[in-house]
A and B are shown apart, each in its own frame.
Chain A
């Protein structure tokens, strides 16, 4: 198996709230640190990237956040516009189209079209010879994809369009996109999970859906937020004694320690289950005991993602 960071396109997916954006960013940071020109893409307006880098706004432009590390927030309306610009070289024709009611209506109402042009833009970013004039290519494009459920549908969009449009340019382009997403050599998928019962079950279901229905490879599963194993089983009786102590500070500290040891043990059981349930290799990422993730913490995780 080729290394995840040696692919051209890496899609990071998983259930909501598991830390997909953080893992996507950490992968981007890790690639940039290896000297690759990398870009992290947000899909559907989020603001995580802007916050971590203390930037006012990451919009629909490629912005350099750190050395070799770029970011973009992919807006479907802008992607649509760009797509038309690339398709129609004659300005008069473009103006005609942009002004026409049929176009504006179809662009807004056609189901799945927003997803399709979003994937189109991701593909464009991953091309060595960019379609956008004057734009430089990237060695790695990392996508922070929509959550489970939506995620599978999102990645399936090109295939669906390819089957609906029997002939014509949309079909050809949808086929190109689908072929790219399912090319295991160039495109990789990472699923992010949490060490809890339900997220682990969903990760197994998601992996099957991605491999069987969408046809992508699943290269890695990240188990995010794993507690350190701070206490051994024979510490427990001592901690229990301490938890009933009258000494200020001792009691709550021992109680917190007991909770921690139970959670850490429960999480290890989930790690074992996850490893049994999925085919892709599982990598763990530590829980970060900070009020909010800042760039230093992301750099710390970047050392662990690969």
Chain B
């Protein structure tokens, strides 16, 4: 199992899809799961839409893209967190009454997706479910888009903490919150609270929390198994990032957290890198411009080419510095750089192009770049 993690906008979804397609092309049966509500994976695979169950990517698409399918299968699904949450409730509710109470509660219906960590937790839940069915050689998970890649690692803990939280017991004791609510309330704090929220909202909340209490046991057990799965040596975490300063810093931070949590780190993928096209390019634009003019016989064009190359080199130098910093701080050699391709990646052919870099060894990667893309 392979989990792609990283902050937003670094090409995580595309990377996850590329790895899955690449492994399928090598003959494996692979499923890729994405959580993104923005339907990116469907775009990447040329699928009009993905449901909350896996769907096989049409093998003829591989042929059309000129990619050998190698006897493997590529399956994809887009997680629907709400539908998954409903399934979880159905599974863990101790009885039918509790189940109905939760599913019909208005707070649950409208806001369960806003529950801290619920989206991330549901991704884990679904991943665990598919993993337990054991129908695939490899599962690739694209993690939810979030400002903070760590939300994801934290999710099972936060959700169980929420459910088993000490303060929740306030609601659950016979003399607790609910009784006070119905009995008119003896607590001063409660009457103050009522003033700023309104009584019916408190009632819905109280019901919501109470109904959940019946599921504490099931949830804890499940979260424990999800955590074990994450730490399993058959799982690997790939950190995906971009070459700019901030994504690199976030990747370093995320790697540190993985190590602290004793989770299996597989490597880091840096997308959209501006490679150095030539280590020894002339340092000054003037002499390059002169050489270009001699070659191209067009002064105006030569100046534009030189100016463009100066801009490109600024970015290439920045990227090289940043990737070096990344490798140093992570103390790893497992850094794969994917170049900033001339064409946009949004179909299987594009994913195959990315895979030439993802699956290449360092040396052949360099060779290919040197040979010109």
B246 CB contacts on chain A under 8 angstroms: 48
Residues on A with beta carbons closer than 8 Å to the beta carbon of B342: 259, 262-263, 266
CB distance from B146 to the nearest CB of A (A): 8
Q: Are B37 and A168 in contact (CB under 8 A)?
A: no
Contact of B198 among A169, A235, A255, A257 (CB under 8 A): A169
Q: Does B22 contact A (CB under 8 A)?
A: no
Q: Are A249 and B192 in contact (CB under 8 A)?
A: no
A256 CA to B278 CA in the complex, in Å? 10
Chain A positions within 8 Å of B14 at CB level: 198
Q: Does A66 contact B (CB under 8 A)?
A: no
Beta-carbon nearest neighbor of A109 in chain B: B162
> In the complex, which residues of chain A have a beta carbon less than 8 angstroms from the beta carbon of B301?
231, 235, 238-239
> Is A248 part of the contact surface with B, judged by Cβ < 8 Å?
yes
How many Å lie between the Cα of A16 and that of B281 in the bound state?
34
Residues on A with beta carbons closer than 8 Å to the beta carbon of B315: 289, 291
Q: Inside 8 A of A88's CB, which chain B residues have their CB?
A: 192, 195-196
- The answer to whether A112 has its CB under 8 Å from any CB of chain B is yes
Contact call A103/B193, Cβ cutoff below 8 A: yes
List of A residues within 8 angstroms of B188 by Cβ: 96
Task: Name, among A111, A197, A201, the residue most crowded by chain B CB atoms within 10 Å (CB to CB).
Answer: A111
Interface size class of A (residues with CB under 8 A): 35 or more
A254 interface contact, C-beta 8 A:
yes
Question: Residue B318 at the A interface, CB < 8 A?
Answer: yes
Contacts of A250 in B (CB 8 A): 288, 291-292, 295
Q: Which residues of B contact A291 (CB under 8 A)?
A: 245, 314-315, 317-318
> A114 → chain B, closest Cβ, in Å?
8
| Cβ A101 vs Cβ B305 within 8 A | no
Q: Give every chain A residue within 8 A of B245 (Cβ-Cβ).
A: 291-292
| Cβ contact within 8 Å between B308 and A84 | no
In Å, the complex CA distance between A45 and B7 comes to 14
Contacts of A290 in B (CB 8 A): 314
Chain A residues with CB below 8 A from B209, complex form: 109
Contacts of B199 in A (CB 8 A): 167-168
The interface residues of chain B lying within 8 Å CB-to-CB of A103 are 189, 193
Q: Is the interface of B mostly helix, strand, loop or mixed?
A: helix
Partner of B168 from the list A44, A46, A105, A248 (CB cut-off 8 Å) is A105
In the assembled complex, the CB of A141 is this many whole angstroms from the nearest CB of chain B, namely 20
A100 in complex: contacting residue of B115, B116, B189, CB < 8 Å = B189
Q: Give complex CA distance A96, B115 in Å.
A: 26
Would you call A239 and B9 a contact (CB within 8 A)? no
Q: Is A102 an interface position by the 8 A CB rule?
A: yes
A33 within 8 A of B: no
- Nearest chain-A residue to B115 (Cβ)? A111
Task: Tell me, in angstroms, the Cα distance from A9 to B288 when the chains sit together.
Answer: 49
Question: Is A255 within 8 A of B277, CB to CB?
Answer: yes
Q: In the complex, what residue of chain B is closest to A165 when comparing beta carbons?
A: B201
CB-based contact B288/A149 at 8 Å: no
| Any A CB within 8 A of the CB of B312 | yes
Q: Which of B40, B277, B282 contacts A256 (CB 8 A)?
A: B277
Complex: chain B residue closest to A171, CB-CB: B198
Q: Does A233 contact B (CB under 8 A)?
A: no
Which residue of chain A is the closest to B10 with respect to CB atoms? A17
**Docked pose: A99 CA to B167 CA in angstroms:** 13
A164 touches B8 (CB 8 A): no
* A111 touches which of B39, B114, B308 (Cβ 8 Å): B114
Contact B177 A15 (CB under 8 A): no
Q: Which of B13-31 contact A (CB under 8 A)?
A: 14
With A102-B193, A105-B167, A255-B372 as known contacts, state yes or no: A168 contacts B201, CB within 8 Å: yes
The answer, yes or no, to whether B262 is at the interface (CB within 8 Å) is no
Would B111 and A160 count as touching, CB distance under 8 A? Answer: yes
A197 in contact with B346 given A253-B288, A253-B305 (CB within 8 Å): yes
Interface-centre pick from B38, B281, B346 (highest chain A CB count, 10 A): B38
Find the B residue at minimum CB distance from A115: B114
Chain A contacts for B298, CB-based, 8 A: 238
Name B43's contact: one of A201, A231, A253 (CB within 8 Å): A201
Query: B168 contacts which chain A residues (CB < 8 A)?
Result: 105, 109
The 6 closest A-B pairs by CB, nearest first: A17-B9, A168-B198, A16-B8, A105-B167, A100-B189, A252-B277
User: What are 25 A-B interface contacts by the 8 Å CB criterion?
Assistant: A16-B145, A17-B242, A18-B9, A46-B147, A97-B193, A102-B170, A108-B167, A149-B36, A157-B114, A164-B111, A166-B200, A168-B200, A169-B198, A170-B197, A196-B346, A197-B346, A198-B43, A198-B44, A231-B301, A231-B304, A239-B305, A248-B281, A254-B292, A266-B343, A291-B317
Binding site for A on B (CB under 8 A): 7-10, 14, 36-40, 43-44, 106-107, 110-116, 118, 145-147, 162, 165, 167-168, 170, 177, 187-190, 192-193, 195-201, 204-205, 209, 242, 244-247, 277-278, 280-282, 287-288, 291-292, 294-296, 298, 301, 304-309, 311-312, 314-315, 317-318, 342-344, 346, 372
